[in-house]
Structure 1
Amino acid sequence: MLSINKRSSIKSKIFTNVRTVLRKKNFSKILTGFAQRYYSDDYQFIQQSVIPTMHFQRSLPRLPIPELNLTCQRYLRAQKPLLSVNDYSKTKAIVDDFEKNEGQKLQSMLKEKNNLNKNTSYITADWSNMYLSDRTPLPINYNPILVFKHVHQSYNSQLLRSTNLLISSLRFFKSLQSNLLEPEIFHLNPKKSDTSRFKTLMKYIPETVSWYGAYLFNAYPLDMSQYSSLFRSTRIPMVNKDILHKNDSSKHIVIMRRGHFYKIDVLDEKGNILSPGLLLSRLQYILNQNVSPSNHPVGILTTSERNNWAHLRNHLINLGNKEILDTIDDSLMMIALDDEKLNSEPNLMTKQYLHSNGTNRWFDKSFTLIVCGDGTAGLNFEHSWGDGVAVLRYFQDISQDSVNSPKCHPDNVSIEINSDNLQVVKLEFTLDDKIKRNIEKTMNEFKNMYESLDTNYFEFFDVGRNTCKKFGISADSLMQLCFQLGNFKLHKKHVGSYESCSTAAFKHGRTETIRPCTIETANFCEAISNKNKPSNDELVNMIKKCSIVHSQLVKEGAMGQGFDRHLFALRLLAEKNNLNIPKLFTDPAHKLINYNIISTSSLTSNYIWLGGFGPVVKNGYGIGYKILEEYTGAIITNYNQHTDGDKFRDVLTKSLNQILDVLKTN
């Protein structure tokens, strides 16, 4: 029998040997004895909803086709502030004729088409094809951005921030994949419907009638069909029309750093999320690689005109790069690790996330999580597969999860890693002279494009929803009136204007256009700019009327009762059936209203630091704005050869102050 001392010595040697083996196999100290917990549901899922994610999808109402006469009325009302008296009379005659004649036939055809496609909306396929057929480069023109707020400094290193956001993203993905992500529901009476009782009851209502059950509680489930395209998907360039690609089984992500590509697995063979220590170690290994920036970064080609990129991609495949391209396309998601340190400067942040220099991006991916050298983080997302509703939900959930329940902590970073078994695969493209020349050419072309883009930040710290409640007006209408007044002050005319509105209350709903330049906003802009302007009481009444009209437009848009998508569908029917194109669509007024000088989108969320997008026309402005309880801010983009962004920002500030001065006197 061994003595106690000998047994103790043997145990000590065994423990030492086991610890050495574990280290060699790259199990960090913090995981020893605790690895099993990373297979628990608490780690694997960000949510475990009582109501299945897709529970309401089958019973969602379909997007309605507006009545033709209402569409014509709404179109004419939106045209009136943009046209002279004579031009408006001509347009009205054209619209009246359209309503009585060609419009009737096209409306009947649209309804017939809609009846044959009852599992979707009348606009979904055509709207997606519109995106995929456009040959315009994606960055600035299409891909929007969202930027996260900073987290506590100790968690804001590039390594910790990217690892925690990755883990939260995977937890979101797993909940979505397992039908455990809570469905998106708009609660008109949260005290009644956003409750455990409501959720339990909904769970047992059959899917075929579940939407109606929620409706009885004044709760409105939203379409969740776009969510499946968040992960494992990408847009692939093809000649004349791109395609959307999705892989249902990939377990890896792709990391970009300094124009180089790295593949790392993030799920095990059973589909479980790997441990935080292992994921952190793999990211740390990539960050520790002191590689020089790629001389020929292939990602820059995704900034190119789409047909050009399609031809170059085919050439890459012919050179033997199909497997690498498949790895990128099939990846669960993509992370770009940038060296830049932005110091929370809004204009620098906007430029970095909206375009950067394009060498460390793959703009075709459904979204890219971008983390800079100082831990600043954001998203750039491709727009053809979906809209802001799905991206914003993902953004908010992972922001909250990574801040409130981070899985990696500052003390984890100091642990030494063994790189022998990290399984980080560097993807090496085979390039020839033709591809290298085109990469260099594209880098110069993209540089000319993004250097012509100007960005400006506009903010008020004491104006927000609470201010608007006090004055009895809509916060959104206040901002839209500010944009209209600013433009009128600067350019002395009313212009085509666009505000995005989600139609996610309907099956496969996408967006509708709100037209913020109304008869009422035009009257106010002219009145307050007149030397003999009306009294303050009259101006206050005009502001309130603007708010009432704007709120009605928002309501109509959300209920699928705008005119833009309807007319878009009617015009496409005429084109596809080789019918004469109605004069309504060849009328200069139609081109004018769709030339959106002011393009806006509300990105209001407590989790967003800022969000934005590029102008949609060369002499226009792209305005991403947010309105919180006591804060209002906007990122404004424009092309500096055509417009002066500094002046526009300044005139917006003056306009908002002028409107507030009027309201304060009431």
Structure 2
Amino acid sequence: MASLLSLHCVAYLRISGFHLRTAALGINKRNYSSKKEFSTEYLSQSEGPSMHYQNSLPRLPIPKLEDTVRRYLAAQRPLLDDEQFRTTEKIAHDFQNGVGKQLQEELVAQDNNNTHTSYISGPWMDMFLFERKSLVLINPFLLLNPDPKTEYNDQLVRATNVVCSAVRFMKTLQTGLQEPKVFHLNPAKSDTNCFESFIRSVPSSLSQPLDMSQYFRLFNSTRIPKRGRDELFTAEKARHLLVMRKGHMYVFDIVDRDGNLVKPAEIQSHLKFILCDPTPAAAFPLGVLTSENRDVWAGLRDKLIAAGNAEDLRIVDSALFCLSLDDESMRDNIHISHNMLHGDGCNRWWDKSFTVILTKDGQAAINFEHSWVDGLPIHSFQKEIFKDTTEQPLVHPGSAAAAVDSASAVRRLQFHLDSELENGIKKAKENFDSIVSTLTIDLLEFKKGGKAQLKKSKLSPDAIAQLAFQMGFLRQYGQTVPTHEACSTAAFRHGRIDTIQSTTIHTKRCSHAFVYQPGQHSVKQLQTMLSECSNYHRQLIKETAMGQGFICHLLALQQLANSKSEFLHSFYTDQAYTAFNLPIIDTSTLNSEVMMLGCFAPFVYDGFTVGYNVFDDRIFCSVTSFLTRNVHEFVQCVHKSLEDIFSVLEGKTLT
């Protein structure tokens, strides 16, 4: 189900009327020896145990099959003509009353026997790990804002502070002091320091927490390529950092034998040593192999092991995380986006759970592998790192690096390559260049209105953004197409992401009215259409966030049928179903105060991806596409659509 690979970089729980905020959580809480140790080793001091809520999380419900089929058909209606819809409707009802009914019973029974997890956790992970496409097309990136103190954006200074803060985050998490995610139904009363102090005694059954089961793979984890299906590997006791520069790989310890952060001045010395290494760029950069088709990479990795590289690969796989130091400065946000999304392919290890990328001018981003995680843990990590590095940095401009023997502490990995492996690297680079040469990126910044005006008009900002994307595509191509938006189900144990089909009969009618018939409708009529789109979108978000979405449910039923080696019902081979799950517009909300931008590559070659943020007074979008679509024209059409929408809200007549 390809559409579900469009997981969004900053997925957050989106239940109407709920406020998401960070509260307090703990795993094996430890005592602190002193305030000094706390300030050096940890990011925060939780008042309550990290996993206080985890066992009380409700289980993700399996929707009724008839509800899923009804929602699926409603989502298909604006995409099909009458004859196509009648065919799809007949197939869907036949599935519901026949094979689907049996699969539903088996899925419910299976779920009842696995109460420790959710019914979608396994199928969701399989969906990623069975995928054979290059991770360059799947890994998203999130760009951190620059440090407000410009002198701290020096590459060495910022890299050192980010590494130190990342270790502090890890120690805070592992010792049970990391704050959990909690819903506040009334933020004015509960989103307070008093509530946080009280949280230890609050019965978990009375709270509204978010699942945190993904966090354990944040550090020391890697996706290992295997033929057919990849595997996830975690080595919790490793203490070293993987650093990449000019295609070379370096390692050194950032945690000492007692589990404490290595002195920041020593980390600074080691990173300075790497940045000053005069070794020319790698002739055969091994990292580019991780951008290959997964089966191809699996075969080449086996050859690497056979050539005597097993131990160095283990070192790479077990590293806390990867830090990529790029020698290039960035020209503008489009240049930044290309660099953080793919770069030249030589200075990345796409398989690592996450990579911090730092350019020569101090631009910092997190590029992450998506099988193990949704946006919440990465967003939490990013937010904490930015806060820590900007508010209490451990090294400063002009700080002297420690007088230590970095030449002995830092090891540059040397891999044994034969002619077959060298040819494999050359071919991987050719394939990488072929992929990214057709990838285009453009940015949109609409400055004539935003969240404040939309809320004043009692409209959902997210619904209006989604409408503008569909309206823009209609204006450009004259079509109504599948538009997908991710929605977190993290309120449930081992919840992941479900997908909202934001193209509806309401958005189709409204888009046609604005694009083709503006003079045939009064301002009041257009405003009413906007309100109908908004209300229906709110309903979709609420249903999906509460575990009543239909795409994950259909995926689980499909994988259950596949596991039985049975012929798939015509429901899953219906052309309408296939097209539905290849979204032409794939969207992600990037709602963060510490993030400049973020994006991901289109999963389909004739599609757009849109990473967007609706601010109080403006709307910002990062759009990607391959050359099969004109991204620049699409951005212009979306901008025009937003202009028309806000003009109508201001009472102006469209002509």
Q: TM-score range by the shorter chain?
A: over 0.9
Tell me the residue number matched to 2:318: 330
Shift of 1:52: 1.7
* Maintained 8 Å contact 1:38/1:274: no
SS of match in other structure, 2:117 = coil
Counterpart pick for 1:251 among 239, 250, 259: 239
Shift of 1:37: 9.0
Tell me the residue number matched to 2:24: none
1:518-545: CA deviation from partner (whole Å, max 9, x where unpaired): 0000001111222453111100000011
Quote the Cα distance in structure 1 between the aligned partners of 2:337 and 2:185: 34
Aligned CA distance change for structure 1 residues 578 and 438 (closer, same or farther; 3 Å):
closer
Tell me the residue number matched to 1:578: 565
> Identity rate of aligned residues, in percent?
39
Q: Aligned AA for 2:594?
A: Y
* Maintained 8 Å contact 1:267/1:273: yes
1:378-435: CA deviation from partner (whole Å, max 9, x where unpaired): 011000001111111101110111111111111205x574536751111111111111
Quote the Cα distance in structure 2 between the aligned partners of 1:509 and 1:117: 14
Tell me the residue number matched to 1:279: 267
Shift of 1:578: 3.2
Counterpart pick for 2:118 among 97, 121, 133: 121
Residue segments in structure 1 that go unaligned for 5+ positions in a row: 1-35, 215-219
Q: Aligned AA for 2:189?
A: K
Are 1:64 and 2:51 counterparts? no
Are 1:614 and 2:610 counterparts? no
Counterpart pick for 1:644 among 612, 630, 634: 630
Shift of 1:39: 6.7
SS of match in other structure, 2:243 = strand
Q: Aligned AA for 1:482?
A: A
Counterpart pick for 2:155 among 149, 155, 158: 158
Are 1:497 and 2:497 counterparts? no
Q: Larger RCO: Structure 1 or Structure 2 (Cα < 8 Å, ≥ 6 residues apart)?
A: 2
Counterpart pick for 1:348 among 316, 335, 341: 335
Which piece of structure 1 moves more, 582-591 or 188-197? 188-197
TM-score by length of 1: 0.91
Tell me the residue number matched to 1:372: 359
Tell me the residue number matched to 1:85: 82
Tell me the residue number matched to 1:13: none
SS of match in other structure, 2:623 = strand
Q: Aligned AA for 1:523?
A: R
Tell me the residue number matched to 1:359: 346
Are 1:212 and 2:212 counterparts? no
| Paired residues for 1:396-411 under 5 Å | 396-411=383-398
Tell me the residue number matched to 2:506: 520
* Maintained 8 Å contact 2:584/2:608: yes
Q: Aligned AA for 2:300?
A: L
Shift of 1:575: 1.9
Shift of 1:198: 3.1
1:12-33: CA deviation from partner (whole Å, max 9, x where unpaired): xxxxxxxxxxxxxxxxxxxxxx
Counterpart pick for 1:49 among 46, 50, 55: 46
Residue segments in structure 2 that go unaligned for 5+ positions in a row: 1-32
Q: Aligned AA for 2:205?
A: Y
* Maintained 8 Å contact 2:357/2:366: yes
Tell me the residue number matched to 1:173: 170
Q: Aligned AA for 2:152?
A: Y
* Maintained 8 Å contact 2:273/2:407: no
Quote the Cα distance in structure 2 between the aligned partners of 1:418 and 1:500: 48
**RMSD of aligned C-alpha atoms?**
1.5
SS of match in other structure, 1:467 = helix
Shift of 1:481: 0.5
Counterpart pick for 1:238 among 226, 243, 257: 226
* Maintained 8 Å contact 2:266/2:402: no
* Maintained 8 Å contact 1:262/1:426: yes
Which piece of structure 1 moves more, 102-111 or 602-611? 102-111
Q: Aligned AA for 1:576?
A: S
| Paired residues for 1:541-580 under 5 Å | 541-580=528-567
Quote the Cα distance in structure 1 between the aligned partners of 2:487 and 2:406: 51
Are 1:142 and 2:130 counterparts? no
Aligned CA distance change for structure 1 residues 93 and 420 (closer, same or farther; 3 Å):
closer
Counterpart pick for 1:476 among 455, 462, 467: 462
* Maintained 8 Å contact 1:158/1:371: yes
Quote the Cα distance in structure 2 between the aligned partners of 1:254 and 1:463: 44
SS of match in other structure, 2:409 = coil
Are 1:536 and 2:523 counterparts? yes
* Maintained 8 Å contact 2:265/2:402: no
Are 1:313 and 2:304 counterparts? no
Aligned CA distance change for structure 1 residues 486 and 421 (closer, same or farther; 3 Å):
closer
SS of match in other structure, 1:40 = helix
Quote the Cα distance in structure 2 between the aligned partners of 1:518 and 1:303: 36
Shift of 1:213: 2.2
Counterpart pick for 2:586 among 566, 580, 599: 599
TM-score by length of 2: 0.92
1:468-525: CA deviation from partner (whole Å, max 9, x where unpaired): 1122111101110000100111111111111011111100111000111000000011
* Maintained 8 Å contact 2:266/2:404: no
Aligned CA distance change for structure 1 residues 352 and 421 (closer, same or farther; 3 Å):
closer
Aligned CA distance change for structure 1 residues 239 and 580 (closer, same or farther; 3 Å):
closer
Tell me the residue number matched to 2:15: none
Tell me the residue number matched to 2:20: none
Shift of 1:194: 2.4
* Maintained 8 Å contact 2:612/2:621: yes
Quote the Cα distance in structure 2 between the aligned partners of 1:579 and 1:294: 49
Quote the Cα distance in structure 1 between the aligned partners of 2:35 and 2:393: 13
* Maintained 8 Å contact 2:340/2:367: yes
Quote the Cα distance in structure 2 between the aligned partners of 1:533 and 1:515: 28
Tell me the residue number matched to 1:217: none
1:320-376: CA deviation from partner (whole Å, max 9, x where unpaired): 111110111000111000011014x11111100100111000000000000000000
Quote the Cα distance in structure 2 between the aligned partners of 1:161 and 1:461: 31
Quote the Cα distance in structure 2 between the aligned partners of 1:463 and 1:350: 25
Quote the Cα distance in structure 2 between the aligned partners of 1:261 and 1:575: 41
Highest CA radius of gyration, 1 or 2?
A: 1
* Maintained 8 Å contact 1:255/1:337: yes
Number of residue pairs aligned between Structure 1 and Structure 2: 618
